Amino acid sequence: MRSLFVAASLLLLPVAVHAQALDRFKVAEDNRLAAQHYKSGWDLLLTEKWDQAAGEFQAAIDLKPNYKLAHYGLGRASMGQKKFANAIRAYERCRDLFEGQAAQNITNSQEAEQMLSDDLTAIDLTVSRLQSGPQSPQTSAAIAQLNMQKDRLKMRAGNSKNMSLTSPVPAFVSLALGSAYLRSERFAEAETAYKKAIEMDSKYGEAHNNLAALYLMTGRYADAQKEVKAAEKAGYRVNPNLKEDIEKKKQAGTS
């Protein structure tokens, strides 16, 4: 009886190995197709074809649900569509995936290497697409933060055999989430998100600028002026109308 059981097990072994190989092939193919949809999404995003871009990013997510930057791209497209609730969901999912990865300590080297490769590929694709589109201080800041994220991943990957893929939420993700909250008049959450962005990058001029606008909207004029100064110190060009409005409101409040 024992010999029959062993023989049956040996017969089933090639079937199991074949099934595992098919699973690996499917994952690799899904990743490849997801990357294609992701690239197309950015091409459409940069030409402001919001609906089509959203469709491409969603297709990437359907194939690879943990595709962090595809959720970010979907948030960008949703903002363009003025679907702010959708944008919040997409940005929050992106943030949650970064935070979830930060809580992991991957001991399987093959799994860790695959996760690292996926993240680095996504960053390279995003930087490439941003560089090919219209350039602005905001774009330059996002590219710089992506490259910092890439350096962090490489550094942490080389620090230990137990490869921690600790990956703080990038400042540009927190900024985008803050702006989606702001457009939805969720001011307290917007403030938290902007401060998270500044915590990650204290010289993030756009985050200081947006926080100044939020403080203006919520009647904190002295705080707004401080954030304007921080934004300008970081090299960000603050709209003169914003500075004028803050000063007028502050003077009216003290008169």
Contact of 212 with 238, CB cutoff 8 Å: yes
Taking alpha carbons only, the member of 173, 171, 155 closest to residue 163 is 155
- 24 versus 217: the higher-pLDDT residue is 217
Whether 4 has a pLDDT exceeding 70, the answer reads no
Whether 127 has a pLDDT exceeding 50, the answer reads yes
Cβ neighbours, 10 Å, residue 162: 11
| Mean pLDDT score, 7-22 | 57
Looking at residue 76, its pLDDT comes to 96
Looking at residue 156, its pLDDT comes to 65
Query: For residue range 107-126, what is the model confidence (pLDDT) as tens digits?
Result: 556 666 777 778 888 889 88
Residue 51 to residues 11, 47, 55, 76, 173, Cα–Cα distance (Å)? 51, 11, 6, 11, 21
Whether 218 has a pLDDT exceeding 70, the answer reads yes
Looking at residue 161, its pLDDT comes to 47
User: Which architecture characterizes domain 186-255 according to CATH?
Assistant: Alpha Horseshoe (1.25)
Looking at residue 111, its pLDDT comes to 66
Average pLDDT of the chain, as a whole number: 85
| Mean pLDDT score, 14-28 | 62
Contact of 93 with 113, CB cutoff 8 Å: no
Question: For residues 59 and 55, what is the distance between their CA atoms, to the nearest angstrom?
Answer: 6
- Stretch(es) of the chain classified as CATH 1.25.40.10: 29-167
Question: For residues 80 and 53, what is the distance between their CA atoms, to the nearest angstrom?
Answer: 10
The token duo for 192 is 């938290």
Query: For residue range 221-234, what is the model confidence (pLDDT) as tens digits?
Result: 999 999 999 999 99
Looking at residue 147, its pLDDT comes to 87
Looking at residue 102, its pLDDT comes to 61
| Mean pLDDT score, 14-20 | 58
Contact of 206 with 108, CB cutoff 8 Å: no
Instruction: Please classify residue 10 by burial: count the beta carbons closer than 10 Å to its beta carbon, then call 0-12 exposed, 13-18 middle and 19+ buried.
Output: exposed
Alpha-helical runs (H) found in the chain: 2-46, 50-63, 68-80, 84-102, 109-132, 137-157, 171-183, 187-200, 205-217, 221-233, 240-254
- 131 versus 87: the higher-pLDDT residue is 87
User: Which architecture characterizes domain 29-167 according to CATH?
Assistant: Alpha Horseshoe (1.25)
pTM metric for this prediction: 0.82
pLDDT band at 100 (very low <50, low <70, confident <90, very high): confident
| Mean pLDDT score, 13-38 | 74
Question: For residues 152 and 201, what is the distance between their CA atoms, to the nearest angstrom?
Answer: 14
pLDDT band at 12 (very low <50, low <70, confident <90, very high): low
